Structures are given as C-alpha cells and as structure tokens.
Amino acid sequence: MTIRRVAVLLPYPFDRAFDYAVPAGMELVPGAIVTVPLGKRMMPGAVWDDVPDETLPDRRLKPVAGMCDAPALPATLRRFVDWVAQYTMAPRGEVLALALKSNLLQRPPESFGWAAGTPGDRRMTASRGRVLAALAELDRPDTVALAQAAGVSAGVVRAMADAGFLVPARRGAATPAPDPDHAAPNLSPEQAEAATVLRNSVAARRFGVTLLEGVTGSGKTEVYLEAVAEALRQDRQALVLLPEIALSAQFTTRFAARFGAAPTLWHSGLTPSVRRANFHAVARGASRLVVGARSALFLPFADLGVVVVDEEHESAYKQEDGVAYHARDMAVVRARLADAAAILASATPSLESAVNADSGRYAHITLAARHGGAALPAIAAIDLRAFPPPRGKFLSPVLTDALAATLAGGGQAMLFLNRRGYAPLTLCRACGHRITCPNCTAWLVAHRAPAGLLCHHCGHTEALPETCPSCGAAESMAPIGPGVERIAEEAAELFPDMRRIVMASDAIASPDDAAAAARAIVDREVDLIIGTQMIAKGWHFPDLALVGVVDADLGLSGGDLRAAERSAQLLHQVAGRAGRAGVPGRVLLQSFAPDHPVMRTLIDGDLAQFRRAEAALRAPGHWPPFGRLAALIVSAADSGIADTAASALARAAPPPDEALVLGPAPAPFALLRGRHRRRLLLRTPRNVAVQPILRAWLERADVPRAARVDIDIDPVSFL
C-alpha cells in the first residue's frame, strides 16, 4: 500500500524540504501550512512543490501532525521563495522564514465589542448615561476603550453588561476597502500622461517594469497612486514599498485621503497582534493596499497587481543581515512571478535602473516640472576654504547670514548633517588617544541626550571618562567634529528665540514620533529643523525655504563603488525638501571641494550628465551595473582563524579567465561585534552568473569550521 507523501519546507536554515506522510483524511494543497515533527520538536512548515522521495520506505516517514488555521501560501510566493534562495544562495528555509513566522499562524481571534442592548434593569445613572453616549460614538469598543471614553471605571461597564444595557457584538469586517475613485486628483497634463502609461501597465495584467523619474515635488506619488487605483479597480492587490518606516506616517495619511481608507501597514514596528491580523487579511485578499518595508515582499498576496518601489535608489532597500537581498531587485522578480506591473519611482534613479531604462528593458517616464508651478530650489556651494566657520564652530558665516535672513523673514529653515549624536570622535588633548569600541573597528560617538559614548555598530555604551584611559590626564577628553546634536547647540546659541527640532533616529524613534514631528513642522510650530538623513526623503514641508548642508563632502570619503552616486542622490533629496510650495527654495552646500563633480551636478541640477560620467567610469572595468559582484565576508571570533579561512578561500579562487577575485583584505570594519572580518570580492561580466562560480569555489575551499563565510550577492555596503 502506498501512502500519500508531501515535501514540507521548514522556516529554518535548511535548503531541502523534508518528506512526511499525509494521515488518512487530511487534505493538503500545495502551500498548506502544517505542523510537523522534526527530531523531538514540532514545527510549522509549508507543503512545498518538491516531489517527495517515493523510494523511502514508509516506516521511515513521520506523519504530518496537523494543519494550521492559516491560508495556504500561494504558488507565486512559493516560487518567489525558491527564486530568492537560489539568487542570494541562502538556504530555502531561511528565505521561507521571511514569509512564515510561527507567531503569524494562528488565525486572529474574531474581535467582539459592546453594542447597545435592551436592559431589563433600567436604573439609569449619570455614569451609565455617559457610557451610552460614548457607545454611540464608537464602533463596538471593548471594555477598556469604552470605560476610558466615558470616564468611568471598567466595573461600571461590566455592571451595565450584566444588566443588559450592553451586549457583545462582532466588530465590522476590519477596515473598509480602499475606493479607487474616492478622491482622484486633478492631474497636470504631464502627470496625466504619466498616469495613463502606468494605468495601462497595470491593466495589461502582464509583467513589466516602469521607471518613474520625476524631480522632487513633481507629484510622483500622486501619479503612482493612479496605478494603485487601477489595480484596485481590477480587484487585484497593490504593494507600495517605502525605504524608511519613519516616512510611513505622512504617507499613510496621504493614501487614506486618496482612497478613503487606511492602507494595511507592514513593518517591524507593528505589534504581534496587528501583524497577525494584517498577514491573514493579505492572504485572504481582504487587504487590498499594503504599504510596507522590504519584508512586505514576502506577504502571501492572493492576487498582486502592482508593486511600487518608492525612492528606488535607496540603499536601505538592501538587507544586510541574514538573507542578503535587495528589495528593489526582488520586487521586480516578485512582480514577474505574479504577472504584475512593477513601478520604480525616484527623483534620482540608481544607475542600475537608469541603465535598464536606457537599454529599453524598462519603460521610462519622466516628470520634469514641480507640481503647481513651484520652481526647483536654487543650489549654491559655500567654499569653506574661503568662508570658514568661526573657531570651534561648524557653520560658515555665509550660511548663518542666510539662516538669519530667512528666519527673520518668517521663513522655515533646515540644517542637514548625516551624523547622529554630538561628536563622531572623542580625543585626548594631551596624548591624542581616541576612544574606540572594544568590539568594533570604530570610534565611539559622543551623545548628549542621553549623555555617553555609544557604538553605532554594536550598541556598546560607556560613560565619558573623566581622565584619559591612556595617559591619565584629567579633563583632557574633547569632542571632535560635529553631529546633529552639536549643530543644534550651535544653532541655539545663534538663534536662541527660534523654535528648533532635531530629527535623528535617537530622538525620533517611532513612526508616531516622526508623524508628530512632521505635523509640528507643517503647522509652523518649528522654525529650524536639524536632522540626519531621516529628513532627506519624501517629506513635504510646504514652508521650507532654506536648506543648509553642513558637510556636503561627508559622503564622498567612503571610497566605495557608489560613494559619489549615493552622495549625489542624498544631497539632491535633501535639497528637494526646499521650496516645494509657494515659497522659493534655496540650498547652500558647505564644502571644501565645491568643484567636485558631485557638487557641480547638484548646482547645475544635471543628474543625467552625472549618470553618464559614472557610467563611463564603471563600464570599462565591468563594475556594476555593467558587471556582477559578489562579496565573501569571512569572520571568526579569533583573528588567526579568520586569516586561515581567508587564505584557504584565496587558494581555491576561480581562475582569472573565469572571474576576477579581489582580496582577501581586512574588512574596513576588521572587527565588528567582536568578530574578526576579512573580505573577498568576485566580479564577472554581466552575462556571467556568479552563483555557480561561488558554489564551486566554496566546495573546493577548505574553510575551518570555526570560521563563517557570508555571501553577499550584489553588495551595496563594502564595510
């Protein structure tokens, strides 16, 4: 007698699926989520498409233990998991873990709340009256919410339930569906044309990628929401990816205003119960519009019609830990597997996407004008060699004069410095000793609020020492260089009467904080905004007239492949915050190299020219996007083992006619979170896949077991 068998993929770092017997009476479809025994443990898993091994004797097979009360993972998601795994070279189970967290599996409890009943005991009191009044305003509130709204104790509510004033009732079918025609905007002719192209790409129900390039404030969001509306009209689902969860607040409000219903959110900041409810709503198809971080790609969409990647050039889309995937690239794959449209939106497209658009692989539409006739900001450099800041300060008199003029005229201004904390370095004035992290190759960053020294890589903290740990000199430790907190201090001395806000992840830790900060800025409760890259993107601050970039040279020093590109994109985005509505915008870049190509690009506003120059630099050597890169990061707790492992890899490296291998070299962070790290880089021409070469290489190499080798395909960070 043959028994029915299924292959089950487990959300743990196994590449293979395990075979199980299907108990009589159990009906399992592909993708069904089940619990199975592995060793002595029970774990969740998903029925996968692999063919079970029929040669295995029956007695060797354990049976599936049970079915979870969760919808089966759709075929498009299963194929996506397989695809991401083979591309990133991560075990398939580890990729599945991005989609299937065991805490998501229980179907969310139906939620009940109180509705008005017909009481037997009709004794009315003032507090009971308040409860009934509050009840009329709320949708089936629970006991706590109702008591709070009425200003009574929970006991009053319970007593009213006992008396029949309140009866339990199921809450309405979660959220109302977004309505594609709720508040459609009046598009400009340029926007309307772009929207038509995007709508058609969704209506075609076929895979295709469109690069939506539009200057900051041109209405890219309004335009891609028309593509989302089209997907909703077709009864399909839409996914909008955002690079930074902090932005989701302003976006959620905007999306809700456009469609008359809030989108479903997906990011790491949600509570477990909200995550679970959202997961099930997406799987059932009940949730039609999801706005999320990169992990939203792994949601079990029932019928995905469009994927939008907003700010597609953002390096935050690259996941560095665990499965190292680039969400922009994987969004394109996700769309292809779902026969959906993909839209990549940016004011400063990545060279990757621009090259794909130029070659015709992607459709390309541009929005050249800001909405409502607003002009692009005027950008100029301040040569710090000619106009240096006063001693011990960081703002040039040219910038402080401009700030003074703007603020005196009632305008809003912003200072941008992409550095958290007070000072990036603390140094002993007597002996030159620099305070570094014990676990990382990094200086400890001085913070003032709260005060202390902090490692931005491993989280190590210590108090500022009173005497130098090296030479023992007293009161000799000095902060060197500025972070945003120090710029805020300088601004406070210069403009004591102006209302300031610091926007950095230390001060603005949640989307709610970010929303409150944005509201305060828009409502003009703030005159001067001081922030890190958190203030660069997406925000719409209509009254912002002046942006000062404290250190425009900062991003250029990294020296990696994309340092110039990334710096140009970031500064362009920052500059794009200025002058978005009525007020004309002005941007001043403090720089020691005002003639650097990046500064020239920004001042001339000619990003296409910059991209051509970058392409000319990268193409001859097959650097991305004209070739493929993979990084091998060797790490070990012991530096000798890290070296042994790195040389073992070097000895087994593929021959030069197959691929170029660079390294091994100590990683820029040679010590990170207590591990010693070495890096190797593999480069091939664009038409040669790196994965088979890497696989063979790793098989040949005799790497000590105590060392770990992490693979990063298409690396973005070279640290």
Positions in 426-455 near Zn ion (CB under 5 A) = 437, 439-440, 455
Q: Which of 132, 458, 615, 719 binds Zn ion (CB under 5 A)?
A: 458
Minimum distance between the CB of residue 413 and Zn ion, rounded to whole angstroms?
35
Stretch in the footprint of ligand ADP (CB under 6 A) among 182-190, 231-239, 351-359, 458-466: 182-190
Q: Which of 199, 220, 675, 677 binds ligand ADP (CB under 6 A)?
A: 220
Q: Which residues make beta-bridge pairs with 682? A: 630, 661
Minimum distance between the CB of residue 191 and ligand ADP, rounded to whole angstroms?
5
Q: Give residue 57's region: left, alpha or beta (phi > 0; psi -120 to 50).
A: beta
Indicate the pairing of strand 660-672 with strand 675-685: antiparallel
Amino acid making up residue 176: P
Q: Which of 219, 305, 555, 594 binds ligand ADP (CB under 6 A)?
A: 219
Of 214 and 411, nearer to ligand ADP (C-beta) is 214
Instruction: Could you list the beta-strand ranges (E) of 232-303.
Output: 237-241, 264-266, 289-292
Minimum distance between the CB of residue 574 and ligand ADP, rounded to whole angstroms?
13
With 0-12 / 13-18 / 19 or more C-beta atoms within 10 angstroms meaning exposed / middle / buried, residue 277 is buried
Minimum distance between the CB of residue 669 and Zn ion, rounded to whole angstroms?
9
Minimum distance between the CB of residue 188 and ligand ADP, rounded to whole angstroms?
6
Of 326 and 419, nearer to Zn ion (C-beta) is 419
Of 357 and 632, nearer to ligand ADP (C-beta) is 357
Alpha carbon separation from 232 to 177, 237, 242, 286, 305 (Å, rounded): 9, 6, 19, 12, 8
Q: What is the C-alpha separation between 55 and 52, in angstroms, rounded?
A: 9
Q: Which residues make beta-bridge pairs with 547? A: 414, 587
Q: Which of 214, 377, 411, 555 binds ligand ADP (CB under 6 A)?
A: 214
Of 368 and 431, nearer to ligand ADP (C-beta) is 368
Amino acid making up residue 265: L
Q: Which residues make beta-bridge pairs with 679? A: 633, 665
Of 150 and 672, nearer to Zn ion (C-beta) is 672
Of 372 and 410, nearer to ligand ADP (C-beta) is 372
- Which entry of Zn ion, ligand ADP, none binds 214, CB below 5 to 8 A by partner kind? ligand ADP
Minimum distance between the CB of residue 351 and ligand ADP, rounded to whole angstroms?
20
Q: Is 460 in the site for Zn ion (CB under 5 A)?
A: yes
Q: Closest Cα partner for 556 from 569, 542, 543, 540?
A: 569
Minimum distance between the CB of residue 214 and ligand ADP, rounded to whole angstroms?
5
Positions in 572-601 near ligand ADP (CB under 6 A) = none
Q: Is 258 in the site for ligand ADP (CB under 6 A)?
A: no
Q: Is 222 in the site for ligand ADP (CB under 6 A)?
A: yes
Alpha carbon separation from 653 to 35, 76, 413, 710 (Å, rounded): 42, 36, 54, 16
Number of residues that bind ligand ADP (CB under 6 A): 15
Q: Closest Cα partner for 504 from 496, 495, 513?
A: 513
Q: Which of 119, 185, 269, 666 binds ligand ADP (CB under 6 A)?
A: 185
- Which entry of Zn ion, ligand ADP, none binds 220, CB below 5 to 8 A by partner kind? ligand ADP
**Which ranges constitute the DSSP H helices of 348-396?**
351-358
Positions in 345-384 near ligand ADP (CB under 6 A) = 371
- Which entry of ligand ADP, Zn ion, none binds 300, CB below 5 to 8 A by partner kind? none
Q: Give residue 289's region: left, alpha or beta (phi > 0; psi -120 to 50).
A: beta
Of 427 and 602, nearer to Zn ion (C-beta) is 427
Q: What is the C-alpha separation between 117 and 119, in angstroms, rounded?
A: 6
Angle between helices 597-604 and 563-575 (to 10 degrees): 30
Of 55 and 186, nearer to ligand ADP (C-beta) is 186
Positions in 502-541 near ligand ADP (CB under 6 A) = 540
Contact 341, 306 (CB under 8 A): yes
Contacts of 429 (CB under 8 A, 6+ apart): 473, 476, 477, 478
Instruction: Could you list the beta-strand ranges (E) of 293-360.
Output: 304-310, 341-346
Contacts of 710 (CB under 8 A, 6+ apart): 324, 632, 633, 635
Of 572 and 676, nearer to ligand ADP (C-beta) is 572
Of 88 and 191, nearer to ligand ADP (C-beta) is 191
Contacts with ligand ADP, residue ranges (CB under 6 A): 185-188, 191, 214, 216-222, 371, 540
Contacts with Zn ion, residue ranges (CB under 5 A): 437, 439-440, 455, 457-458, 460
